[in-house]
Amino acid sequence: MVNEEDLKIWRDAGHVARRALESIKDEIKPGASWNDVIESAERYIRRHGGKAAFPTTIAVNDIAAHYTTDHNESDPPGWEKDMVFKKGDLVKLDIGVHVKGAIGDNALTLEVGNSNKHTDQIKASIEARGASIEKMHPGTPWHEVGAAAEQAQTDAGFAPISNLCGHQLETFNLHAGTSVPSYACGPDNPSFKGEVTEGGIFAVEPFNTTGAQGLIENVPPRNSSNIWRITGDISVKKALAKNKLKPLGATMARYLEERYHQLPFAERWAFPLLKKPFPNEDEESLQSKWDALTKKLINIRFLETYHMLKCVDGGLISQYEHTVWIAPGGAEILTIE
């Protein structure tokens, strides 16, 4: 629950997130590299008074979400083309900003080159997001919110993604518990019990697909997204006391904790931190140390990583997202300019 005094900070984060999204989308054009767009978005956030709440992500065609570049600009698993935008690509751009831990999370989908191949699908995402937000009055059952999103998408001939949903936001917490359905989950679905709560903040992000099954799947390996997060399950102090970490590992863990709290961070942000204790090591040695460190931090449940997500049957995916605050009279959109 967010009070009026704190709400100003959330609005500030939402404004920066929206301005970043609207500014950077114009850089997505034929021949532009994914990495250049991602890094441009993150620079924009810093220049305008925010910090990245998670790495800027790019998802092209059947890739649904959870992909950012690594420090080597390695290709995503299964991607057999250059990581540059091509005319006709269907691109999801997802940008998150935090200001003192208050988060603005928003996304859009566009077609590279504006050749009008995907206009109806993109419009369906916008309408589904709007239909969801219109339903989000205090006391509305969550299954009604999901049904509104599904109706807008199926009416346009697209399948809603049923295993990817919106989420509640709290300070320094991107996924705070309550999930926001984007399909007709029904009143008895245990994952979407309860009602829209006054004062809550939620990211509303319906996804749809040209595929038949309406499902996404994880892309191996488990770190295919190049995105990581501190779990909060174990402290550095406790890990040291139980001899689960050596001093150097504990130092690196503290670096991560101080910079990112429990918000997701990019491998390309964290990897250069190794150069501080190992200034003379070559790339191969640094990579080996990074792999050993992250494996250890995962094993002790200090760190977790994310899979890249894609459509199970190769369908093209579209998404639009806003962050909203639930006022007494309904949802106020925070991610506006």
Give SS3 for 139: coil
Question: Which residue blocks in 97-141 are alpha helix, DSSP H?
Answer: 119-135
pLDDT digits (tens, 9 = 90+) for 139-156: 999 999 999 999 999 999
17, 50 Cβ separation under 8 angstroms: yes
How many percent of the chain have pLDDT more than 90? 94
CA atoms 241, 247, 249, 251: torsion sign: positive
110 DSSP β-pair partners: 91
5 pLDDT tier (thresholds 50, 70, 90): confident
In the predicted structure, residue 90 carries a pLDDT above the cut 90: yes
Mean pLDDT of the chain: 96
pLDDT of residue 287: 95
Look up the pTM and report it: 0.96
* Mean pLDDT, rounded, for 245-261: 93
In the predicted structure, residue 114 carries a pLDDT above the cut 90: no
- The token duo for 291 is 């792999």
pLDDT digits (tens, 9 = 90+) for 56-65: 999 999 999 9
CATH of 4-219+309-333, one of 3.30.950.10, 1.10.10.10, 3.10.180.10, 3.90.230.10: 3.90.230.10
pLDDT digits (tens, 9 = 90+) for 125-135: 999 999 999 99
pLDDT of residue 11: 97
* Mean pLDDT, rounded, for 309-323: 98
How many percent of the chain have pLDDT more than 70? 100
More confident call, 3 vs 320: 320
108, 25 Cβ separation under 8 angstroms: yes
Give SS3 for 82: coil
| The 3-state secondary structure of 143-185, one letter per residue | HHHHHHHHHHHHHCCCEECCCCCEEECECCECCCCCEECCCCC
